[in-house]
Structure 1
Amino acid sequence: MHGVSGRYHLETTARLALTHAMDGHALRRDAAGQTCARLGASLLALAWEYDPLDGALARDALTAAGMVPDLPLPREAMVAAVHHFETPAEAQQLRQAQMDRDLDRVRLLCGRMLLDAPGSAFWMREAVALAVYRGELDWLDSLLQRFQEHAPRPLAWVAQRLMGDVRLFGGDPEAARSLYAKAMAQVRALEGGEGETLCQLRLAESFWRMDRVDRAAPLWQQALNQRPWLTSHLLMVHDRLAGIADVLEVPRDPVAICLYSFNKAADLNLALESIAQSRLHGARLVVLDNGSTDATPGILAAWRARLKDRLTTIQLPVNIGAPAARNWLLAAPEVRACGDIIFMDDDATVPEDWLERLFAAKARYPEAGVWGCKVVDAGAPWRIQSADFQLAEPPPMAEPGGFAPAYPRRIRLSGVHHEDMDVGQHDYLRPCASVTGCCHLFTREGLERAGGFDLRFNPTQYDDLEHDLRLCRRGEFPVYQGSLAIVHKKVSGKSSQQERRAMASSLGNLYKLEMDYTDEEVQDLRERCLAMLLADMHAKAAALEAYGMRPVRSAWCSGV
């Protein structure tokens, strides 16, 4: 129910299903065992599609598929991945550079090795991961061009699909469509060329971005029929075909947009510029300068001159931390006069219709306690930083590192959105356990019922999650608006000592949060969240028929 996306999430779920399919060393013959075997093999096959140059994963997928002889698979391509994936002697240098977080050295090594062996699956796989992370699409494209020429024939389609991703991320869906179509044709020309679900979904996304829903819808249907447990895509398809993704709503009550900032003058200026350029419908801005010693006071003075009485600024002599800054803003008369309150980070930028999309979420789920959105990376906007967070099973013990003790864990959030690039799979609207504090909307009445932000979580980290879980306990579950994506900068360049201090503070706050709950209370919250997600999913799966699609089989009810 948390979503389906990416190699590692799919692989983990597949191995769990395959474990349930076995009775010792033998495959179970009952209906439940056969269902688990088919589900596990299908999940593992799709995991390989997300990482098609990993020969070890291809071998595991083929082995699992042996338990389900009629499973559609691009077998020739998978066999080629097994035979042509070799770990080179230089792999140790690569791993050391990665451990040192020396990405320039990783890039240099990948480039040099692919110059010598342009058809190497190992080095191409490493280069893809690095280029996507760093946003070096031109470099990646040049490597893929050469890989396509030198790779084994059954793996040439991988280059086509990845070059399609480069075009899609670069804003050219027409060029992406052509490459995805070629990749699908190449897979289907291979022996056993079936099961290319990811190519179908990518091709459908390119059609959607070209405003060709008539071409996208049949591809979505094929993919959902083939993999009926694609919950993220089921939700996305529902909202797009129902028109929910296009709904905008104008605020009815006065709105306060609140920001607090500490020594981020340039970022704050960009954030205010993006807000000012958007459709605000009379909303007012309230900015708290949290003891900045840089150019922030001058930036705010310039914005006061520009926005006049639409902007209120608050100047504090010292940094009082994030939760205290939020509460200070909530107590400001200008904010207290508003029925709706939005908190936004000082290093985020918004699209023109952001306010209307947040209020569309509020109109559709008025019972929620908070409404949030998707957050993407400023340096690589195809990378999702935050989406809908759900409560997942925690690991047995926390293992934060050598400088902090292990302890029993109680709270863990799903991270499915980190598993793949943003290709529309999280463009849906639904309830969840938490939304990012980077940009979220509250009602004044809701905040008064739930209370303010907990000062125990100073200076920052987990104060927003603690507040969201408080709302969950009240039955006012947060709601995620995936059709709104805001762009957020990531802090980088800190010294290792600063990182250690920040990590220590974050771990301390996580420990405080987890000790607020008993195991039984967290389990109850997880069960309530799962029931809510199942009800939402059932309703949307049933509604798909009304939007021109045949009903999707309910295999996702297995809990994937």
Structure 2
Amino acid sequence: MPGPRSGLTAFWRDLDPGVRDRLLLGSCGQRHLLDAARVALSIDSPLAPSLVLASLAENPLDGALAAEILSAPGLLSALPEPALPLLTALSARWTRPEDVTAYEELAAGRDLAALRRFLESRLDRESNLFWLNQAVSLALFENDQDWLAASLARPLPSALAPALEALRGQAAFLRGDFGTAEVHYVSAAILGPSILLRRGLCRKAWGDKAGALGMFLDCLGDAPWHATAALLASEASGNGSRAPAPIPGSLVVLLYSWNKAAELDATLAALFASDLGGARVLALDNGSTDATGEVLAAWAERVGERLSRVDLPVNVGAAAARNWLAALPEVRAADFALYLDDDAEVPPDWLGRLGAAVAQWPDASAWGCRVVDHAGPWRIQAADLHPVLPEPPDPLRPDEFRLSDLHIQDLDMGQFTYARPCVSVTGCCHLFRSATLARSGGFSLHLSPSQYDDVEHDLRLARSGGFAVYQGLLAVRHRKRTGAAGRTSRAEHGNALGNKFKMQAMHPRAEMEAMVRADRDCLLDDLLVRLAALPAPNKEHP
């Protein structure tokens, strides 16, 4: 396998474009890796077995995938021989039930207690890895350590030990026991080089920077296609994003809120507890009928002129509220404007992290960050976003596209703690130069009252040659409601779906193809620079 520096850069330059364009987005997420493996298999690429094994490592109880691997002799023969007992045991004990309607209805209703009762009853009645996989996945998603431990303690064949150890490693990581997590991952080594990445993330989490770098480099040595390992190795070696720095100019932080008094109060508390430097805060009350006005008045009394407010008699929607704020004289006069959701909470050094991204990519059109679930910060809501086009295009929906979603295919272990260019960042925390906002044409009122107006604005900037920057070293916690409180009405769901189709119609296929090409070329250039600067690997790690 190619080594670092010239070998790795040559590998990526020579990689088949169809595989390369996918892997440039990252090398994690089971669905994503399976998509890359599918393309690799279609061209008989020698990368296919490694990609398939990496996808299994992302979901090590996936008996359906194990059965597919066992049915492909050419693929199976290229995998490590010690993996065969695991694949055989997974396939033998996995059966997809003929009817999963009841389970899917419970999952759609987000009633976690009912889901748990349902899964426990199935596991008590039948030994089927399908149900165990659902239970373990749900327990991990909720970080329910007791249920997870009980699920993994059920009587199972010893051949499944590597899969169970990988899951115990993730569980230990989620509870903050990083040393124990790595011990479990060592016992899951037959699942391939992605386990080395996870061991590196364990070491990074407990502060062993040199050990983490070694693991990331070892992962690259075994799997040169592992873009995520390359990004993390670059950060760990000091060749990634810069140290925190102040925003280079005057800044106005912009909030707009409708009937979220409690959430807004918490957002303002975190905001004014952070290092704002000389930034001012401007909040728009979007026709609220709850205690939002009282919250703003109380904070204005506490912080004085650092907080200004705008009151509207009715809710004009997100896009119009953004445009209203951007048009205010004090915002136009500032060097930078930053939109922050009224239910987002920032850490103390957030502006320094964004300032580092501005210093590294001063010509960007927008800057954003990693956004995590406030109630479960191991769940990522948004990371770097890149457009993905269906291949071939759907004749009935020729303008269809989606945004990359690797970040929601797994839990946060630090895989996305890097900074790099992208096409879009979440509007939850969205930094612009005020001059960019003034000439962008504003956020589209066609996408009122909300949903996709921030993405569409980034797409318009990309269409004109701009780009966004994702600062993954900054995590903002978002109070996105979950469970029954998170359900949307049919009208809200319909509006979001309609806005998605409208956004797609505003950016036709030919335009998006050019945007995707420019984005992937940018990602490749960024990766090649990082790879060329990496140190040689050090194989002294157990």
- Counterpart residue number, 2:379: 383
- Counterpart residue number, 1:60: 68
Q: Does residue 94 in structure 1 map to residue 103 in structure 2?
A: yes
What secondary structure, in the 3-state scheme, does the structure 2 residue paired with 1:314 have? strand
Decide whether aligned partners of structure 1 residues 314 and 96 sit closer, same or farther in structure 2, where only a CA change above 3 A counts: closer
- Counterpart residue number, 1:131: 139
The partner residue of 2:527 within 527, 537, 545 is 537
Using the TM superposition, give the Cα deviation of residue 356 of structure 1 relative to its aligned residue in structure 2, in angstroms: 0.5
Using the TM superposition, give the Cα deviation of residue 67 of structure 1 relative to its aligned residue in structure 2, in angstroms: 4.3
What secondary structure, in the 3-state scheme, does the structure 2 residue paired with 1:375 have? strand
For 1:425 and 1:176, locate their aligned partners in 2 and report how far apart those are by CA, in whole Å.
Answer: 15
Q: Does residue 170 in structure 1 map to residue 186 in structure 2?
A: no
Decide whether aligned partners of structure 1 residues 78 and 536 sit closer, same or farther in structure 2, where only a CA change above 3 A counts: same
- Conserved? CA contact 1:6–1:50, under 8 Å: yes
- Conserved? CA contact 2:240–2:530, under 8 Å: no
**Which whole-Å deviations, capped at 9, do the CAs of 1:498-535 have from their partners, x for residues lacking one?**
53212222232223322223322221111111211111
- Counterpart residue number, 1:249: 245
Letter in 1 for 2:452: Y
For 1:534 and 1:89, locate their aligned partners in 2 and report how far apart those are by CA, in whole Å.
Answer: 44
The partner residue of 1:489 within 479, 499, 502 is 479
The partner residue of 1:15 within 32, 38, 46 is 38
Q: Which ranges in structure 2 are unaligned for 5 or more consecutive residues?
A: 1-23
Letter in 1 for 2:468: P
Using the TM superposition, give the Cα deviation of residue 371 of structure 1 relative to its aligned residue in structure 2, in angstroms: 0.4
- Counterpart residue number, 1:105: 114
What secondary structure, in the 3-state scheme, does the structure 2 residue paired with 1:123 have? helix
Letter in 2 for 1:362: V
Decide whether aligned partners of structure 1 residues 350 and 138 sit closer, same or farther in structure 2, where only a CA change above 3 A counts: farther
**Which whole-Å deviations, capped at 9, do the CAs of 1:85-114 have from their partners, x for residues lacking one?**
244688564345335554432210222344
For 1:377 and 1:221, locate their aligned partners in 2 and report how far apart those are by CA, in whole Å.
Answer: 30
Q: Does residue 78 in structure 1 map to residue 87 in structure 2?
A: yes
For these two proteins, the number of residue pairs brought into alignment is 514
For 2:428 and 2:94, locate their aligned partners in 1 and report how far apart those are by CA, in whole Å.
Answer: 41
Which aligned pairs between 1:242-321 and structure 2 lie closer than 5 A?
242=238, 244-245=240-241, 247-321=243-317
What secondary structure, in the 3-state scheme, does the structure 2 residue paired with 1:531 have? helix
Q: Does residue 464 in structure 1 map to residue 454 in structure 2?
A: yes
Q: Which ranges in structure 1 are unaligned for 5 or more consecutive residues?
A: 22-35, 188-193, 400-405, 551-560
For 2:181 and 2:483, locate their aligned partners in 1 and report how far apart those are by CA, in whole Å.
Answer: 34
**Which whole-Å deviations, capped at 9, do the CAs of 1:8-28 have from their partners, x for residues lacking one?**
11112212221222xxxxxxx
The partner residue of 2:330 within 329, 334, 339 is 334
The partner residue of 1:518 within 508, 523, 529 is 508
Q: Does residue 434 in structure 1 map to residue 434 in structure 2?
A: no
Using the TM superposition, give the Cα deviation of residue 335 of structure 1 relative to its aligned residue in structure 2, in angstroms: 2.2
Which aligned pairs between 1:386-401 and structure 2 lie closer than 5 A?
386-394=382-390
Decide whether aligned partners of structure 1 residues 515 and 242 sit closer, same or farther in structure 2, where only a CA change above 3 A counts: same
- Counterpart residue number, 1:33: none
For 1:65 and 1:222, locate their aligned partners in 2 and report how far apart those are by CA, in whole Å.
Answer: 28
Q: Does residue 151 in structure 1 map to residue 156 in structure 2?
A: yes
What secondary structure, in the 3-state scheme, does the structure 1 residue paired with 2:337 have? strand
Decide whether aligned partners of structure 1 residues 446 and 383 sit closer, same or farther in structure 2, where only a CA change above 3 A counts: same
Letter in 1 for 2:149: D
- Conserved? CA contact 2:326–2:438, under 8 Å: no
Decide whether aligned partners of structure 1 residues 62 and 398 sit closer, same or farther in structure 2, where only a CA change above 3 A counts: same
- Counterpart residue number, 2:13: none
For 2:73 and 2:226, locate their aligned partners in 1 and report how far apart those are by CA, in whole Å.
Answer: 19
For 2:278 and 2:394, locate their aligned partners in 1 and report how far apart those are by CA, in whole Å.
Answer: 47
**Which whole-Å deviations, capped at 9, do the CAs of 1:360-390 have from their partners, x for residues lacking one?**
0010011100001111112221111111111
What secondary structure, in the 3-state scheme, does the structure 2 residue paired with 1:66 have? helix
What secondary structure, in the 3-state scheme, does the structure 1 residue paired with 2:244 have? coil
Q: Does residue 368 in structure 1 map to residue 374 in structure 2?
A: no
For 1:52 and 1:178, locate their aligned partners in 2 and report how far apart those are by CA, in whole Å.
Answer: 17
- Conserved? CA contact 2:247–2:358, under 8 Å: no
- Conserved? CA contact 1:278–1:352, under 8 Å: yes
Greater mean deviation of Cα atoms: 360-369 or 239-248: 239-248
Percent identity over paired residues: 39
For 1:79 and 1:151, locate their aligned partners in 2 and report how far apart those are by CA, in whole Å.
Answer: 13
The partner residue of 1:501 within 466, 491, 494 is 491
Q: Does residue 476 in structure 1 map to residue 449 in structure 2?
A: no
Choose between structure 1 and 2 for higher RCO, CA contacts under 8 A separated by at least 6 residues: 2
Letter in 2 for 1:359: G
- Counterpart residue number, 2:443: 453
RMSD (CA atoms): 2.5
The partner residue of 1:179 within 172, 180, 184 is 184
TM-score of the two chains, using structure 2 as the length reference: 0.88
